[in-house]
Chains A and B, each alone.
Chain A
């Protein structure tokens, strides 16, 4: 009995125990750091896309301010480019009547800058435009 006690006391971790412990610690670290990294990455991507969002909002305003543009979108509002410093960006606008609705329209603006695309989709009512 005393011999067994001495043996147990002298035993370190077995390899298996150490590997399992390390694996658990590793998984926890990967999870926590991965989530932190994903948050940072999403932040950076979002901030880079803010100018595209602002440009897209301008195109929605242009559609809002043109009477009758929902029923028949003028070519000047369908696609184009922006002025400096966003001269590399292009935009196109699409208006679609919502199915089974007389007065509702889906307005989609896509702003392209290189490989980056920002899409802004909104719904407009025809009578929203003041005569």
Chain B
């Protein structure tokens, strides 16, 4: 008995213990590996980024402001997609271009930024939805941020209040009155888009109805 106590473990005991511990560890690692796979499955980071873009757009536009001096203009108009297109900008053949001054903090200024949201187009085609940020009433170089690199279109409507009646309009240009709300739509072409980004596109394509100014 005393000799047995003094012996320590036999090789057999160590091997069995190691085998049990190894099996348990392997099962745990497999479960964790499944979660890591889920986490890095294609597109999941894109979905998080798409959500951030929505939050940013909502933040900027809901803090759109005009000034009593009239030097801040809210300008949202449809712009023809190509200069040689049929010269009537219908809602379908045009992209919105939206310019306003926001008090939300941005990359270029903490309290006043002119934001211009538009589709980046040149002779090479469409290069996504971008925002051009310029400090308002201050010096500073404009900064261009890409919001949705795969977007193929951008449309916007503006809710006006006329004698108590609410009407959605396709353009809004004013230095004195803000729309009651705006609706933004980012469009994607499923035929050309990467299928891995489908979830992110579907999220960012949900129309955004954003009440402006006095509602918040």
A contact set with B: CB distance below 8 Å: 7, 10-15, 18, 22, 26, 29-30, 33, 36-37, 40-41, 43-44, 47, 50-51, 53-55, 57-58, 61-62, 64-65, 85-86, 128-131
Closest to B28 in A: A33
Interface Cβ pair total, 8 Å cutoff: 91
In the complex, what distance in Å separates the CA atom of A57 from the CA atom of B54?
11
What 4 pairs across the A-B complex have the smallest Cβ distances?
A: A12-B8, A61-B209, A40-B35, A50-B51
- Given A51-B206, A65-B159, answer yes or no on A130-B180 (Cβ-Cβ < 8 Å): yes
Q: Is the CB of A54 within 8 A of B203?
A: yes
| CB-CB contacts below 8 Å: B167-211 with A | 180-181, 199, 202-203, 205-211
In the complex, what distance in Å separates the CA atom of A26 from the CA atom of B24?
10
Contact of B38 among A22, A40, A65, A86 (CB under 8 A): A40
Q: Is the CB of A15 within 8 A of B9?
A: yes
| CB-CB contacts below 8 Å: B4-19 with A | 5-9, 13, 17
Q: Is the CB of B47 within 8 A of A50?
A: yes
Q: Given the complex, which residues of B lie within 8 Å of A57, measured CB to CB?
A: 58
Q: Is the CB of A37 within 8 A of B44?
A: no
Closest-CB distance, A44 to chain B (whole angstroms): 5
- Given A7-B6, A65-B181, A86-B202, answer yes or no on A33-B32 (Cβ-Cβ < 8 Å): yes
User: Which of B17, B48, B207, B211 is most buried by chain A, counting CB atoms within 10 A of its CB?
Assistant: B211
B contact set with A: CB distance below 8 Å: 5-9, 13, 17, 21, 24-25, 28, 31-32, 35-36, 38-39, 44, 47-48, 50-51, 54, 58, 159, 161, 164, 166, 180-181, 199, 202-203, 205-211, 214-216
In the complex, what distance in Å separates the CA atom of A10 from the CA atom of B13?
18
Closest-CB distance, A118 to chain B (whole angstroms): 13
Closest to A8 in B: B6
Q: Is the CB of A13 within 8 A of B17?
A: no
- Given A22-B17, A43-B39, A130-B215, answer yes or no on A11-B202 (Cβ-Cβ < 8 Å): no
